[in-house]
Each structure stands twice: as structure tokens, then as C-alpha cells.
Amino acid sequence: MASLKELKGRIVSVKSTQKITKAKKMVAAAKLRKAQAAAEAARPYAERLEGVVASLASKVGASDSAPKLLSGTGKSDTHLLVVLNSDRGLAGAFNSNIVKAARDKALELQAQGKKVVFFLVGRKGRPVINRLFPGQIIENYETTGIRDIGFEQAHEISTKVMELFEAGAFDVAHLFYSKFRSALLQIATGQQLIPVPAPAEAPASSGAAVEYEPDEEAILADLLPRNVTIQIFKGLLENAASEQGASMTAMDNATRNAGDLINKLTIVYNRTRQAAITTELIEIIAGAEAL
């Protein structure tokens, strides 16, 4: 059984940890408001742009004049998985859920005989993916030291992805990130990035004739690279909000668990002290009777 001094030291230590987790929860809650607002503001533009590109793509089809980002390489032998993670932990299952979604997709593709390579953003997912798929990481993007990841970083990532595509490093690219729903719910999400996937449903016709100036191919040549950048930017913003929500929830759970542990240790401490006092009283009484 631990001594009174050891129990008191444990209680003090857990109380100090509880103060830290409580402070981190408050910081995450403050950052969440800003990150959530940014993610929600980016969704309409990203979704609308994706819809416009898909609509134009359905008109152009896979013609010889179609941009390569739309028509692809004509094969799907090599798949690039762009996995967005964070550099910091203490966010519950935030990073592990994204890595799990990417891992499941990679295993599914490998079972089909496809080659899988990874483009990793952030440090947290790297050790797991490097262990599961050794030698398959072809690019790392460091976000360490960047306080607020924004459009500039999304543009740098998309530029590297498109350079790899032009160099023939892959045929199809998929993006993985965590979609923010609430502080309690973040959904690991994957979407095809390159080439642009065909729309699941044909857009409803309004009966109006639509003419594009310049033609569809010229518009797509400008919109397709922008769409890749915007989709990555949306993923980064969704990740930022999801990370703060997961961190706030994890720190709240840690604070409550620390409180429960303090209560249990306090009960043990009081019982141990009472037992020591009772033992001393018995010894005094026994000594007095012996005299």
C-alpha cells in the first residue's frame, strides 16, 4: 500500500494535470469558433465550383482536346493518396481516423492490383503509414511552425500534386481529411481529386440553352487547377475545425477523468490516514494498559 506522502504527491500531480487539460480545453474552444466559421464559409464555394467543373466535364467528355486533369492518363494503375493530418496530438482519434480511412482505401486498391503511393501533409500520420506501407511515401509537406494554415499552403500542396501528375507519378489522386460536423462528431472523408469524377446524377435541365465563352475546354483549363487547390483548401479548413473540436472533447474527457481519479485517491488517502490514526491510538491504549 502506498504511503500517505506518496498518495498526497499523486493527488497534487493529478490536480496539476487537470489544470492543464482544462486550460487546453478552453483554448481549443476559443480556436474552434474561428476554425468552424472558416470551414463553413468555404463549403458553398468549394461545392459550387466542384459542381460547375463536373457539369462542364459532362459536356466535354473524354475527348482528345479535354485537359489532362479531366480526362486523366487513360489508365488507373497508380493511385496517389493525399492524406491531411495535423502536427500536434491530444486530439482524440482525429488523426487516427483519417489514417484508418486512407489505409482502408489503400488496401482496397492493392487488392485490385493497383499501386498505391502517399502524399502526406502533417507529421502525425507519417509513422503509421510508413510502418504499414514502407517505401510508398513519395512526398511530405511540413506544416510545423505554421500558425494558421491557409490558401497559400493549399496552393503549394496542389502545385506539388499537379507536378507529380504531369511527371507521370500517378494516374488517380484521392484526398483524405476529416469533415467537421460538430465538436463531438468529425467524419473521416475521402474524395477523388484527379481526374475530376463524373457527376453521380445528370444535372437537371432548366430548358435554357447555355453557351460558354470561351469554349468549355478553355474554361476547364483554368478551372481544373483552381478546383484542385480549392478542394485541398477546403480539406485543410475542415481539418482545422475538426482538430479543435476533437481536442476540446478529448480535453474535456481528460479533465473529468482527472476529477474522478482525484476523488478516488482522496478516498484512499483519507482511509489510509484514518487507519494510521487508529493504529496509533491502539498502540497508545495498549501501552497504557501494560503500565
Cis bond upstream, residue 214 (ω within 30):
yes
Residue type, 289: E
**Cell, residue 179:** 469533415
Nearest-angstrom CA–CA distance, 51 and 57 = 10
Segment 150-162, tens digit of pLDDT: 788 888 888 888 8
DSSP state of 139: E
Nearest-angstrom CA–CA distance, 178 and 246 = 10
CATH of 4-19+252-290, one of 1.10.10.10, 3.40.1190.20, 1.10.287.80, 3.10.290.10: 1.10.287.80
CATH of 34-249, one of 3.40.1380.10, 3.40.50.10470, 2.40.50.90, 3.40.50.620: 3.40.1380.10
Domain ranges within the chain, ordered by starting residue: 4-19+252-290, 34-249
Identify whether the C-beta of residue 239 lies closer than 8 Å to the C-beta of residue 178.
Answer: yes
Segment 24-60, tens digit of pLDDT: 888 888 888 888 888 888 888 888 888 777 777 766 6
Segment 263-289, tens digit of pLDDT: 998 998 888 888 888 888 887 887 777
